[in-house]
């Protein structure tokens, strides 16, 4: 079903938040990254500075992101009647373990993904923003809240993460202007960058090593693909890892336009991450399979055997050449 809620302006949403008497519960997406966690942490702190009660519901948060919870806003469960806000969540499926409980209870969705299909009363969708963190910054200004170093750290992490270190084409001049305001709070941005980009877990090393051996090429090497199945991951003791590095890897090879990472999902099918370099809109391709994302980075799930999934996605991508 199409979303019926009307997209509001930052100022309208600020007014809605100011008027709400209920405590706020902010939802983050499954396999959280620094944009969803940083945006949620910053928003909770901003709302608290408005005199509201606010907390962030998360699943397991990787250790590298725990600096985003200096003000102890992350909780594992909530029993209160709350005004529910989702941040950086493109579809109900991405609520993961919280989907059943919260998918029909969201009051406001704040997001920057094209094709956000969350059903709710209020929607603040700005798909030209490189990170959800940029929208939270604008909301902070509209709410008249002063920036402090904890909010700045959380927003910097959100923005630097989703912009790939300010490298992606969706970065705007305003992105740098916001980042400059954040850095003026004397945050340790070098340490944030080290934690987000340079520090790897042992599992990330193992999976990268395995990924190089699995690289396959299609369409005159314009498509590069890495496909993992359960057996491969089990054999190398890879249990719970972040695939973000591996998702970037295939498109790094000279001449490749689309890089594809395929790994098992929790429903017996496969989760795909697509990355493009120049002209292929991978969000549009992932939409066909019920997923979504951005022009150069998107994801979806496809069921079938690994070989079937490879062939289905390669055929679909090839149509764009
Ligand atoms: Mn994001």
- DSSP annotation string for 149-203: HHHHHHHHHHHHHHTTTTTSTT--HHHHHHHHHHHTT---HHHHHIIIII---HH
Encode the chain (321 residues) as per-residue pLDDT tens digits. 444 567 999 999 999 999 999 999 999 999 899 999 999 999 999 999 999 999 999 999 999 999 999 999 999 999 999 999 999 999 998 999 999 999 999 999 999 998 899 999 999 999 999 999 999 999 999 999 999 999 999 999 999 999 999 999 899 999 999 999 999 999 999 999 999 999 998 889 999 999 999 999 999 999 999 999 999 999 988 876 778 889 999 999 999 999 999 999 988 999 999 999 999 999 999 999 998 888 999 999 999 999 999 999 999 999 999
Residues in the chain: 321
Helices and strands counted in the chain (H then E):
12, 12
How far apart are the CA of 49 and the centre of ligand 1, in A?
Answer: 24
Per-residue confidence (pLDDT) for residue 142, from 0 to 100? 98
How far apart are the CA of 162 and the centre of ligand 1, in A?
Answer: 6
The protein residues having their C-beta less than 5 angstroms from ligand 1 (an ion) are: 35, 88, 132, 162
Domains and CATH numbers, the chain: 10-197 (3.90.1640.10), 202-318 (3.10.310.30)
How far apart are the CA of 128 and the centre of ligand 1, in A?
Answer: 11
Per-residue confidence (pLDDT) for residue 85, from 0 to 100? 98
pTM confidence score: 0.89
203-236 burial string, b = 16+ CB within 10 Å, else e? bbebbeebbeebeeebeeebbbbbbbbeebbeee
Q: How far is CA 295 from CA 17, 109, 112, 276, 307, in A?
A: 31, 21, 12, 8, 26
Task: Answer whether 20's CB lies under 8 Å from 53's CB.
Answer: no
Which neighbouring-strand residues pair with 218?
223
Single out the residue of 7, 81, 71 nearest to residue 38, CA to CA.
71
Per-residue confidence (pLDDT) for residue 1, from 0 to 100? 41
Q: How many CB atoms sit inside 10 A of residue 256's CB?
A: 21
Per-residue confidence (pLDDT) for residue 242, from 0 to 100? 76
Residue with tokens 């700045």, as numbered in its chain: 152
Radius of gyration of the chain (CA): 19
Q: At a CB cut-off of 8 Å and minimum separation 6, what does 124 contact?
A: 7, 8, 10, 13, 108, 109, 110, 111, 135, 139
How far apart are the CA of 131 and the centre of ligand 1, in A?
Answer: 5
Evaluate the CA torsion angle 84, 89, 94, 96 in order and state its sign. Answer: negative
SS3 21: coil
How far apart are the CA of 22 and the centre of ligand 1, in A?
Answer: 26
Per-residue confidence (pLDDT) for residue 5, from 0 to 100? 61
């Amino acid at each position: 079903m199409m979303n019926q809620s009307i997209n509001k302006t930052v100022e309208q949403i600020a007014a809605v938040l100011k008027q709400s008497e209920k405590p706020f519960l902010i939802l983050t997406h499954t396999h959280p990254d620094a944009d969803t966690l940083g945006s949620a942490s910053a928003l909770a702190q901003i709302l608290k500075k408005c005199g509201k009660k606010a907390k962030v519901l998360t699943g397991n948060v990787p250790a590298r992101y725990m600096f985003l919870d200096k003000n102890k806003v992350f909780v594992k469960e909530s029993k209160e009647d709350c005004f529910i806000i989702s941040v950086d969540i493109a579809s109900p499926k991405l609520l993961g373990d919280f989907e059943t409980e919260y998918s029909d209870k969201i009051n406001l969705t704040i997001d920057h993904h094209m094709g956000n299909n969350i059903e709710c009363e209020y929607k603040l969708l700005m798909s030209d923003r490189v990170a959800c963190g940029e929208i939270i910054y604008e909301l902070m200004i509209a709410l008249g809240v002063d920036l402090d170093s904890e909010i700045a750290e959380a927003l910097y992490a959100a923005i630097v993460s989703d912009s790939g270190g300010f490298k992606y084409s969706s970065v705007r001049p305003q992105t740098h202007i916001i980042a400059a305001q954040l850095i003026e709070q004397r945050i340790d941005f070098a340490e944030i960058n080290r934690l987000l980009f340079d520090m790897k877990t042992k599992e990330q090393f193992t999976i990268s090593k395995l990924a190089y051996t699995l690289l396959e090429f299609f369409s005159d090497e314009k498509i590069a693909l890495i496909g993992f199945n359960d057996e491969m991951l089990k054999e190398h003791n890879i249990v719970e890892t972040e695939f973000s590095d591996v998702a970037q890897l295939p498109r790094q090879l000279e001449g490749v336009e689309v890089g594809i990472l395929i790994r098992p999902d929790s429903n017996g099918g496969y989760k795909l991450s697509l990355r493009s370099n120049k002209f292929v809109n991978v969000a549009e391709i992932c939409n066909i399979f019920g997923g979504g994302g951005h022009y150069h980075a998107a994801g979806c799930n496809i069921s079938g055997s690994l070989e079937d999934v490879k062939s289905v996605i390669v055929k679909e991508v090839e149509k764009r050449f």
